[in-house]
Structure 1
Amino acid sequence: MPELRTTTLVDAPLRTVAAALLDARLLARAVRGLGVRITGGAPVLHVGASLAGSVGPVNGTLVVTRADTTGVSAELVGGPLPKFTLVTDLLHTGGGTMVVDSVEWSSPGGPFGRLADVLVGRGLALKVLQARAAAVAARSTELLRARVVVGAAIVHDGRLLAQQRSYPPEAAGKWELPGGRVEPDETDHAAVVRECAEELGVTVTPGDRIGPDVPLRPDLLLRAYAATLTSGTPTPTDHQAIRWLTSATLDSVDWLPADRVLLPALRPLLP
């Protein structure tokens, strides 16, 4: 089974590099000009997200199986190869973040199998991995300067608070964690406290960061924190509704793509 592996050291914290990897448009931009086409899918990668792709006349769909602070993994489904996996692991080092990319595939027998090994193999696969690594490094540099939107994972009596957007039109009806932008000279924790007071009329105590940072725009990212409700009854002010979710109902609402990325990190907070 052929396998190819590359390593790149990125001069940025691990969480920043993880956020860069979650930018679904990054791979499409990176392989532009290599004869590889990536289309469709959510703006950010999350478990279960899919990206359609083609190499010349060969088509397939990459489905994301992991997307967190440890890296990203995806598997090809519906394509001509029996197996194709793309794995990116992140390792913290004293000099930055080590990005370890690997691609592994198995080919069918006969002439097509030999052709697949040539197309997917050492030449094209190496170029794709190198282009992606360069794009991740550049995106990480952008995100180091990005402004932060905080999200509050408020858990009370074993349930997580979610709120339903009322605007803008493309987000109306979808669900998200409470929160908002961090103001200049404001800490993340202070922003969590202020936003929860403004949006819900409650007092919370922020805790640890959870999940990966999630890119929203070139100059904006989402950063989530666990939070404890200390006083007040949550009441939506500029949202359509609020809902308390359990581990069994966490997937029952239509989350915004950026918040959906956080679901694997939110689930352990619930009994």
Structure 2
Amino acid sequence: MPELRTTTLVDAPLRTVAAALLDARLLARAVRGLGVRISGGPVLYAGASLTGSVGPVNGMLVVTRADTTGVSAELVGGPLPRLTLVTDLLHTGGGTMVVDSVEWSSPGGPFGRLADVVVGRGLALKVMEARAEAVSRRSVELVGARVVVGAAIIRDGLLLGQQRSYPADAAGKWELPGGRVEPDETDHAAVVRECAEELGVTVSPGEQLGPDVPLRTDLLLRVYAADLVEGEPSPVEHRAVRWLAAADLDTLDWLPADRVLLPALHALLT
């Protein structure tokens, strides 16, 4: 089975590089000049799909992993029997090492040998190099990005979710409580303030969950686990609030950015 591997050292924290990797639009822009077209949602999460084409050949990639360790995706349909893309992130003293690899199985006969040459030594390498360069640039930009905090509030083994009432394109979708960090305010202080304003409760924030998630060019979502200290949550600004068991998480229509955190939320509830 042919394999191709590249490494890039990025001068940014691991969670920031993970955020750059999760920006689906970044990949689309990086390969646009190579005759490759890729489209999908704004962020990558486990289960998300990306449609792509190289000339007249179409295929679909399904994301199998998207967290602080990196991103993986597998080809579903398309000209190759198997194609797997893997990006692993490793913390080093000099920054974050980004290790990209692609493995594929080619069909037999002359077309298979041609695919090995074109995919392995030609287009795939160009795509990996373009993506690595784009991730490096984006990571440096995100180091100074503003932050929106989210709170994964836990009580008696249940997670608090809230349902949006506006704007129109988000109404009815679910998210975690939170909001923007004010100037000179710490992330934890913002979590406490936002939960008091949105829910009328007092919480005690703890460790960060999952990766930073890109929202806009200069804005990141950062989610923290939090214990409910006092009060009963009420939907001050939202349509509804609900205590969720682990089995409920995958049944709700989450906003894309919050959906990225589902694997970390499952782990928090088990």
TM-score if structure 1 supplies the norm length? 0.98
Q: Please identify which structure carries the higher helix content.
A: 2
Unpaired stretches in structure 2, ≥5 consecutive residues: none
Name the counterpart of 1:23: 23
Give the residue type in structure 1 aligned to 2:30.
Answer: A
Q: Aligned partners of 2:243, 2:58: CA distance in 1, in Å?
A: 42
Q: Which aligned pairs between 1:252-271 and structure 2 lie closer than 5 A? A: 252-271=251-270
Residue 170 of structure 1 aligns to a residue whose secondary structure is coil
Say yes or no: does 1:5 pair with 2:28.
no
CA distance in 2, matches of 1:115, 1:59: 18
In structure 2, distance between residues paired with 1:102 and 1:111: 25
The Cα shift of 1:119 comes to: 2.4
Give runs of aligned pairs for residues 157-172 of structure 1, distance below 5 A: 157-172=156-171
Q: Distance in 2 between matches of 1:135 and 1:214?
A: 17
For residue 87 of structure 2, what is the aligned residue in structure 1? 88
Map residues 164-243 of structure 1 onto 2, 5 A cutoff.
164-243=163-242
- Give the structure 2 partner of residue 251 of structure 1: 250
Match of residue 131 from structure 2: 132
Name the SS for the 2:233 alignment partner: coil
Secondary structure at the counterpart of residue 249 of structure 1: helix
Which residue type is aligned with residue 116 of structure 2?
Answer: D
In the alignment, the residues of structure 2 paired with residue 65 and residue 252 of structure 1 have an alpha-carbon distance, to the nearest angstrom, of: 18
Instruction: Write the distance in 2 (CA, Å) between the matches of 1:222 and 1:97.
Output: 20
Rounded to whole Å, the distance in 2 between the matches of 1:189 and 1:168 is: 27
Measured in 1, the distance between the counterparts of 2:111 and 2:104 equals 14
Shift in Å at residue 79 of structure 1? 1.1
3-state SS of paired residue (1:190): helix
- Give the distance between the partners of 2:102 and 2:268, measured in 1 at CA: 33
Question: Which moves more between the two structures, 177-186 or 103-112?
Answer: 103-112
- Superposed CA RMSD in Å reads 0.8
Looking at structure 2, the residues matched to 268 and 188 of structure 1 have their Cα atoms a distance apart, in angstroms, of: 22
CA shift at 1:63, angstroms?
0.4
Q: Please report how far the alpha carbon of residue 57 of structure 1 lies from its aligned counterpart in structure 2 after TM superposition.
A: 1.8
Alignment TM-score, normalising by the size of structure 2:
0.99
- Partner AA of 1:248 in structure 2: A
User: Structure 2 matches for 1:111-126, cutoff 5 A?
Assistant: 111-126=110-125
Q: Per-residue deviation at 1:142?
A: 1.2
Runs of 4+ deviating beyond 2 Å: none
Aligned to 2:249, the other structure's residue is in SS state coil
Q: Aligned partners of 2:76 and 2:118: how far apart in 1?
A: 17
**Partner letter of residue 213 of structure 1?**
D
Deviation at 1:90, TM superposition (A): 0.3
Aligned to 2:153: 154
Is 1:37 aligned to 2:37, yes or no? yes
* Structure 1 SS opposite 2:41: coil
Asked if 1:57 corresponds to 2:56, the answer is yes
For 2:31 and 2:17, the matched residues in 1 are separated by 19
Residue identity opposite 1:224 in structure 2: V
Paired with 2:18 and 2:115, the residues of 1 have a C-alpha distance of 30
CA distance in 2, matches of 1:128, 1:224: 31
| Count of paired positions | 270
Give 1:270 shift.
1.0
